[in-house]
Amino acid sequence: MSWTDYLIGALIAVVAGLDRTAVFQFMVSRPIVAAPLTGWLLGDAAAGLQVGALVELLWLGRLPVGAAIPPDDTQVAVGATVLTIFFAGLTPFSALPAPLICTLVAMPLGKAGQFFDRAARHWNGRLLHRAQQALAAGNLGEVERSHLRGIGHFALAAFVTYLVIVGGGFLLLPLLAPYFGSPVAEASTWLKLAFPLVGTAVILGTINVSRSLTLFGASFGSALLLLWLV
Amino acid sequence: MSRWVLLRVWLRLFLLQASWNFERLQSLGALYVLAPALRILYREEDLAEAYRRHLEYFNTHPFMASPVLGAAIALEEERCRGAEGALGVEEFKGMIMAPYAAMGDGFFWGGLRPLAAAVALFFAAKGSLWAPLVFLTLFNVPHLWIRTFGLWRGYTLGLKVVETLHRHRLPDLAIRLKEGTLVLLGGLCAYLTYRALQGEGESSIWGLSVIPLVALLGWLARRGVSTLMLTMTLAALVLAFLQFG
C-alpha cells in the first residue's frame, strides 16, 4: 500500500464519519457500506465486504438518540479494512484470515471514537457561545458560519479515531499475529459465525418487541430445518 | 415563500446536526436551516429577534425535523403577517420535538435501519457486492421521502401537519418493521449456522443450540454487558475450546 492508499482510507474515514451524525446521514457510515467502499477504492472490495458483514450487526441496536454516543463502528469498519488490505499482502500474514484478525484488533481500539466524538460535541458548545456573541453584536453571517465550523470538529474526531485504529493496528498486529494467527485461522469458521450471533443477540436484547425471542426462534428453527431437509 | 428559498432550506436540512452540542443540541442547526426563510420575512432588528427565537433549545430526530421546521416557516409567515394563532412558533417547536423524536428514532433507527441491514447481509453472506447498494436503497427511499415531502407538507399545512403525520401511524409501522427484522435475522443466522456446520462436517441439528446461546447473549446485553465484551469473550471461548477442548 502507498501513502495515497492511506490518504484514501483517511478521506473515507472523514466522509463516512461526518455521515454518522453531522451531515447528510445517508448511512454511508454503516459498516456494510463504508467497509466495502473502502475496500473497493483500495482495490479489494471483497475484503471490505467481509469486514462490513462482521461489524454491521454488532452495534446496530445502539441508537444515536439524544446525548447518547454509540461506539464508532464506522471507523472500526474503515480501519479494519485498511489493515486487512495492508496485512493480507504481507507474506507472514497471507495464510491468515486477515479480516477476522484485523476486526478483532480494531474493535477495542474503536473505543477511542466515543471519546473523540464527545470532545467534538463539547467543542461545538463553544461554537454556540460564539454564535450568541455574534448575534448580540448583530453579525448574523457569523452565526451561520459558527454552525458550519462544527463540521470541522466532527471531521477531526473521525480522522483522529481512524489514526488510532490504523496506527494501533500497525503496532499490535505484528505482535499478536505470531501467537494468535494460527488459532484464529483454525477457528475462523466459528469466529465468523460468532460476530453475527452476538450482533443479533444484542438486537434481540434491545429491540423492545414483545415475543422477540419467539419470532427469532421460530424463524431460525424453521429456516434451519428447511435447509437441512433441502 | 418561493420554491428557491424552500430548496435552500431543504439542502440545509442535511447539515442540521453539524454543530450538535450538549448544551442546546440542534438549536444552532435549526436556526441555520431556517435562516434563508427568516431573511426573506424579516429585516434588521426583527431578523435578529427571529434568530434569537430559534437559537433556543431544540432537539428532534434529524429526519423528522423536516415537517417540524417546515411548519415553523409557515408559523413565522403568519407572525410576519400579524395573523399569529393561539400557538406561537416557539411553543409549537417545544411541544412537537419530543414526540417526533421518539417517532423518528423508533421508525428510522429502531425499525428501518436494522431491516435494511438484515436484507443487505443476505447479499453479503453470498459474497455479493450489491449488499451496500441494497442497504442504501432500502434506507434512503423513506429517508429522502420524509426529508423532502415532510418539509413541503409542514410548510403548506402548518399546524395541521401533526394530524397528517399521525395518519401514517409510524409507531405501528416501526413495530412491524422490527418484527420483520427479527424474522429475517432468524433466517440469516440459520443460514450462516447451517453453512458453518456443513463446512466443518458437523450435523445440522447442532444448529438448534444457537437459539439458547443467542438468548443468553441477549439477556447479558440487556443486563448491560457491552457488545465489545460479549464479542471478545465469545471469541476467546471459541479459541480456548478449539485449542484445549
- Does the pTM of the predicted model rise above 0.80? yes
Q: Is residue A212, in this structure, part of any structural domain at all? A: no
Q: Which residues of B touch A57 (CB under 8 A)?
A: 117, 121, 185
Q: Is residue A106, in this structure, part of any structural domain at all? A: yes
Q: Is residue A58, in this structure, part of any structural domain at all? A: yes
Residues 69-98 of B with CB under 8 A from A: none
- DSSP, collapsed to helix, strand or coil, labels residue B58 as strand
B192 touches chain A (CB under 8 A): yes
- Cβ contact A49:B127 at 8 Å: yes
* C-alpha to C-alpha distance for A213 and B41, rounded to whole angstroms: 54
Q: pLDDT over 90 for what percent of chain B? A: 90
A137 touches chain B (CB under 8 A): no
pLDDT digits (tens, 9 = 90+) for B68-119: 999 999 999 999 988 877 788 999 999 999 999 999 999 999 999 999 999 9
Concatenated DSSP letters of A18-74: HHHHTS---STTSHHHHHHHHHHHTT-HHHHHHHHHHHTTTTTTS---TT-----HH
CB spacing of A140 vs B23 below 8 angstroms: no
Q: Could you report the predicted ipTM of this complex, rounded to two decimals?
A: 0.96
Q: Is residue A36, in this structure, part of any structural domain at all? A: yes
Q: Is residue A200, in this structure, part of any structural domain at all? A: no
Angle (deg, nearest 10), helices A3-21 and A73-88 = 160
pLDDT digits (tens, 9 = 90+) for A33-63: 999 999 999 999 999 999 999 999 999 988 8
Number of domains chain A contains: 1
How would residue A93 be classed by pLDDT, with cut points 50, 70 and 90?
Answer: confident
Q: Is residue A213, in this structure, part of any structural domain at all? A: no
- DSSP, collapsed to helix, strand or coil, labels residue B21 as strand
B11 touches chain A (CB under 8 A): no
Q: Which residues of B touch A28 (CB under 8 A)?
A: 136
- Cβ contact B186:A225 at 8 Å: no
pLDDT digits (tens, 9 = 90+) for B151-167: 999 999 999 998 887 88
Domain that residue A145 falls in: 3-181
Q: Of B174, B154, B164, B146, whose CA–CA distance to B62 is shortest? A: B146
Q: Is residue A116, in this structure, part of any structural domain at all? A: yes
Using CB atoms within 10 Å of the CB of residue B139, give its burial: 0 to 12 exposed, 13 to 18 middle, 19+ buried.
Answer: buried
* C-alpha to C-alpha distance for B29 and B21, rounded to whole angstroms: 10
Q: Is residue A224, in this structure, part of any structural domain at all? A: no
**Ramachandran quadrant class, A71 (left: phi over 0; alpha: psi -120 to 50; beta: rest):** beta
* pLDDT value of position B146: 96
Using CB atoms within 10 Å of the CB of residue A141, give its burial: 0 to 12 exposed, 13 to 18 middle, 19+ buried.
Answer: exposed
pLDDT digits (tens, 9 = 90+) for B185-206: 999 999 999 999 999 999 999 9
